[in-house]
Each structure stands twice: as C-alpha cells, then as structure tokens.
Chain A
C-alpha cells in the first residue's frame, strides 16, 4: 500500500548509549550508536520515546547536537524538574542502555552552506544545542561563511560547550560572544546583561548585509530577540526561530 510505504520512512529505531558527558549540573550529552541512522542536516531533531512498564509512553523532540560529519549522533538534554522525559535522560540513563528514537525530523531550522550567510546565531540557555550542530558543521566542511554567535546564559557554570565554543571561535570566520545575565565570575570580560536592542545592534551583522539569523531558546527569549531584530530592520523572512520549554537564559 503506497501510504504505508511513505509512512515507513520515519520509523522508530533503537540506539545504544555509548557515552554520557556531563556538560553542566543540569545538562548531559548522550552519545549514541545508531546502526541504521540515515544522516541528518545541522539543526534537525529526533523524537525520543520512553515506554513505562505499564505501557505508558511519553515522547519529546530533542535537537541533534552533533554535526552530520561527526562519527556518532549526540543529543544534549537539559533536565526539566517537572519533565516526563528529560529527568530520565539526564539522570537515569547509563552507557549500554537502549533508547528508542526516530528521525531526523524538521527541515526549517536547518543550516547548510548553500543557504549562505553571513550567519548570526542567537542562543538562550540550552537553545545553543542545534546552533552548536551548525557551528560544528561549518567547521567540518571548512566553510568560509562568516558567523557570529551570541549566547546568553544565567551564569558561566550554565554555559554548555564552553571550551569547544572558545576553540571554534579561534577561527577567523567565527566570533562567539557570551552574555551572562545573573552571575559573573571575577574578572569576567564578557557581557553582563540580558539581550536587548543595544546588545543585538552591537553584535548582529548590520541589517543591510542581509544576514541569515537563527534564534533558539525559551519562548520569551526567542520572541524578544527575533522581534528586536525585526525592529532593527532585519528581514523577518531571514530569521528562523525555534522555541524550547521554559528554562533560564
């Protein structure tokens, strides 16, 4: 039956947990071995499904943190205390466990080199995850598209992938700026503020350069950042957004 064949393209598969990496107190990266993974584009997601002993199932969508070129698929998950799925992924999962997932899904919040740039990536909290996949992809293909990233977090201890982002920012094409909103370590040289009009105006490419913008974070953060960029003259059609559940930024 034709319809069944079409639906067959997105099937649940089992991945084996190879490694777990603590990124922050609340955030963990899950490195997966997926023998039947078809490959993905930077920015795409997977759906993860958990099944309880009584058959109850809960399903959530998580951004892929790894680049298409990386050897393993990596998900980075923040524990939401009232979450149904994330506490299990962030606390209970162990190497060797199997995880049921399907994907990749999503074709909107995706960057590939043919889309060009310059790129402006705006991350709030764990919204950095799909943007990290884009940065890794950018590095893996040796892209010369210029990139600026603005990453807002509450405190330095909550910044995910900090060392890696610093390394990526050593490239001539990539500039990463951090804005901490609540706590600053002694001698902090980065920004000490929330994202606002003045900060976006300072860091974003000028609207006249028609940058391609990706904003990912909690809903309020995304609305503020995208709305302000439009006020600054950016073309709404070149701003792509993705909203997470309520977490701090």
Chain B
C-alpha cells in the first residue's frame, strides 16, 4: 500500500492537539531528521493511524481511537513544535 503524507491527517491532529500541526516541525527520535509533519509517511489502514519518518522509516506517531477515546503514542518523536 502506498503511504499518504501528513496532510491527510491534518484533521485528526487538530482533533487531538487542538491546533493546526501539519506546518509544525518534528524531529525523529531515531535518526534525528527534522521535517514538517506534512511530510510524514502516513498509513491510515494500519491498526489506527501510523506516521513514519521519511528519512529512516521509524515510527514517529501512532493514533488509535477506540470507543471515542484516542490514544496517542509520540515516543518516536524527539521534538514537535
């Protein structure tokens, strides 16, 4: 399956963080690459939504919504702002 990019989850991210995030800069905790959130490799049909680093493919972000509660795993990110 082809990956989409972070533009496709602008709404989901706004929902979780309460702000527009696609133009924010993120730092990968695995390789240190810095990129816009819009440039993440995004898989919508994983269990939940998975965003990976375009440089090293490490998982940066996982969003899973179950029964109206969204769990957000950001351990792959060293920075977001």
Contact = CB atoms under 8 A, between A and B. Distances in A.
Given A7-B15, A106-B20, A61 B7 contact: yes
B20 A218 contact: no
A51 to B, nearest CB: 14
B62 interface: no
Interface residues of B, number: 22
Interface string A226-249: 000000000000001111111000
Nearest to B18: A6
B37 interface: yes
Given A45-B7, A107-B23, A10 B15 contact: yes
B52 to A, nearest CB: 13
A100 to B, nearest CB: 12
B29 to A, nearest CB: 21
A46 B7 CA distance: 11
A245 B15 CA distance: 22
A245 B44 CA distance: 11
A241 B5 contact: yes
Interface in B27-74: 36-39
Interface residues of A, number: 27
A95 to B, nearest CB: 26
A103 to B, nearest CB: 7
Nearest to A244: B4
A3 B17 CA distance: 9
Interface string A62-106: 000000000000000000000000000000000000000011011
Contacts of B6: 108
A85 B39 CA distance: 24
Contact of A108 (B2, B14, B19, B36): B36
A184 interface: no
A103 B7 CA distance: 13
Contacts of A220: 2
A105 B14 contact: yes
B40 to A, nearest CB: 10
A241 B54 CA distance: 13
Nearest to A246: B2
21 contacts: A6-B19, A7-B15, A9-B14, A9-B18, A10-B11, A61-B11, A105-B14, A105-B22, A106-B7, A106-B38, A108-B6, A108-B7, A108-B22, A108-B37, A219-B2, A240-B38, A242-B5, A242-B7, A242-B38, A244-B4, A245-B2
Q: 5 closest A-B pairs (Cβ-Cβ)?
A: A6-B18, A108-B38, A105-B10, A47-B11, A106-B10
Interface of A: 3, 6-7, 9-10, 45-47, 59, 61, 102-103, 105-109, 218-220, 240-246
